[in-house]
Amino acid sequence: MTDNSDATMLVEPGLYNKTFSDIDRLRMVLPEPALELLAREVLKRMSQKAPSESTLSEEVIILTDALIGPDSTAAAHLVDKFHRAGTDIKSIHLDYLAPAAEMLGHRWDNDIIQFVDVTVGTGRIYAIIRNLAGRFPPPRVLNARHALFAAIPGDDHTLGIRMAAELARKEGWDIELIVGCDHDELVDRILRSDHLIIGLSGGGEHALTELARLALSIQVSQPAARLLVSGSIASKGRGALELMQIDAIESDFDLALGALERFWTKLSVNAA
């Protein structure tokens, strides 16, 4: 069964260009060592979703070339073409974009392409996935409202996220709280869970690089997820958070709770 209605607008040009521009501007905000970290994170998370077969289709090779080619819209147009031919959203993600990311990583590691090519390619992958995020069908949503709250790895300011978890529980939410995990462990736990609402908290701008790495990991691995960022970083780093296309940025608990409720309503409707 396919979901190729409105296929001609699957990748909407305005949103695609804005997302690519945002990720490009984010790279200018973050320290230089973070740039390679983010590129490798996108490639790693996407490659993990690639099929295990060693042979790559001609379409994947063409898509990989388009991701780093001179035409900024070529890869997006290819995704539209695959969709019009009957490929559903999930297959575009797993059978085309994921192996293309794996091929980009292979070319980079073998000095076939340069870092500048990789930043362009990963930026375009991210822009396509974010463009399609609202069209990924979420898995079954449980009856009870549930979310996962986590402290940004490496950030010691956990009192706020602990208090927020308790307050949300008093409002009837089933909250899984994770603190003290490193990046890989936290991402793995998020992806293994059934949570599509993720609340992240950090103490300030010092945590922006780790937050960007974490957000990109979740966004490309589980596009249906909704991200809420709270804590001091929500006010001190708002400009950078907006470039990460965080779904809600709230330092006030009542406003954050309202965002959770909106997320839950939207996910519940989509899963119905």
Q: Is pLDDT above 50 for 5?
A: no
Q: Is pLDDT above 80 for 14?
A: yes
In what side-by-side order are the strands of the sheet with 197-201?
Answer: 174-178, 146-151, 197-201, 226-230, 248-249
CATH 3.40.50.280 fits 146-271, yes or no: yes
What's residue 32's pLDDT?
A: 87
Q: Is pLDDT above 90 for 227?
A: yes
Q: Is pLDDT above 80 for 123?
A: yes
- What is the tens place of the pLDDT at every residue in 36-95? 999 999 999 999 998 876 567 999 999 999 999 999 999 999 999 999 999 999 999 999
| d(C-alpha 175, C-alpha 158), whole Å | 15
Collapse the DSSP code of 209 into the 3-class scheme (helix H, G, I; strand E, B; otherwise coil) and give the result.
helix
- What is the tens place of the pLDDT at every residue in 130-158? 999 888 776 666 678 999 999 999 888 88
Question: 84 versus 2: which is more confidently predicted?
Answer: 84
C-alpha atoms less than 13 angstroms from C-alpha of 53 in its C-beta half-sphere: 9
Give kind and range of the element (H or E) at residue 146. strand 146-151
- What is the tens place of the pLDDT at every residue in 196-212? 999 999 887 788 999 99
What's residue 6's pLDDT?
A: 42
Alpha-carbon Rg for the chain in angstroms: 18
Of the pLDDT bands very low, low, confident and very high (cuts 50, 70, 90), residue 272 is low
Domain ranges of the chain: 7-135, 146-271
What's residue 185's pLDDT?
A: 97
Q: Is pLDDT above 70 for 27?
A: yes
